[in-house]
């Protein structure tokens, strides 16, 4: 009996040691690395038809993964290039094959009740590839936004969090006018582990402090109360 208990005890210790050894890491691929890994034929096979902006590689207990950010440019007046649409892909690499986990597509909106949008792009300054809740899996946070004549003054911002392959979105409409500024939060965002929610809220704070987004002034209180929609309107 003592021998059986000793074996069980040792097994538990070994499992705990294995859990503690799970490490995650991520890198941004250089242009040379992108060219050597993602040939034109492979990109065509993966149905990636926009020019590549950046590619990130990360590893966690699920294996090796790639996040591919792409943006399509068009020529505006005065020969100025702007991005009118974007796509992102997350592929898991297994034994020489790529399997799609999730994808994103969005584009500028030119017919709007407020300022039309001129460009859309990924804001990789706020991109996060971290294991926030220490479960051995990276929870990607992808941020992108638009801008128009007033830059980000009347722009849209989206913060997308991927947890176990499922997307949670926070959508914010910037505006210099109270009646047009509002935020929408997916209900499933509040089901995320607290550490993930905490770090996404830090992204919002950083964006606000850097004048890259204008969230309603009571957004922290509203999110604490798990509101799905909140704005700056005065009644």
Q: Quick one: tokens of 60?
A: 């966690």
Note the pLDDT of residue 217: 85
Q: Are the CB atoms for 139 and 199 separated by under 8 Å?
A: no
> Using CB atoms within 10 A of its CB, is residue 219 exposed (0-12), middle (13-18) or buried (19+)?
buried
Percentage of the residues of the chain whose pLDDT score is greater than 70: 83
CA angle 39–45–51, rounded 5-degree value: 55
17-26, 114-123, 222-231: which is most confident: 222-231
pTM: 0.85
Note the pLDDT of residue 150: 64
């Amino acid at each position: 009996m003592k021998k059986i208990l000793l074996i069980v005890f040792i097994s538990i210790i070994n499992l705990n040691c294995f859990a503690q050894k799970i490490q995650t890491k991520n890198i941004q691929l250089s242009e040379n690395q992108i060219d050597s890994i993602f040939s034109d034929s492979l990109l065509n096979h993966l149905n990636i038809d926009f020019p590549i902006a950046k590619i990130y590689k990360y590893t966690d207990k699920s294996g090796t993964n790639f996040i591919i950010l792409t943006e399509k440019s068009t020529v505006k007046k005065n020969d100025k290039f702007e991005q009118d649409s974007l796509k992102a892909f997350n592929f898991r690499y297994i034994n020489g094959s790529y399997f799609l986990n999730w994808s994103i597509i969005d584009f500028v909106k030119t017919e709007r009740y407020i300022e039309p949008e001129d460009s859309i792009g990924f804001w990789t300054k706020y991109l996060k590839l971290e294991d926030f809740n220490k479960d051995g899996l990276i929870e990607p946070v992808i941020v992108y936004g638009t801008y128009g004549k007033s830059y980000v003054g009347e722009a849209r911002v989206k913060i997308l969090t991927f947890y176990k392959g499922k997307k949670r979105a926070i959508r914010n409409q910037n505006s210099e006018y109270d009646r047009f500024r509002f935020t929408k939060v997916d209900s499933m965002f509040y089901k995320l582990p607290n550490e993930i929610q905490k770090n996404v809220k830090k992204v919002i704070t950083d964006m606000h402090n850097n004048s890259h987004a204008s969230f309603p002034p009571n957004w922290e209180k509203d999110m604490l109360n798990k509101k799905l929609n909140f704005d700056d309107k005065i009644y």
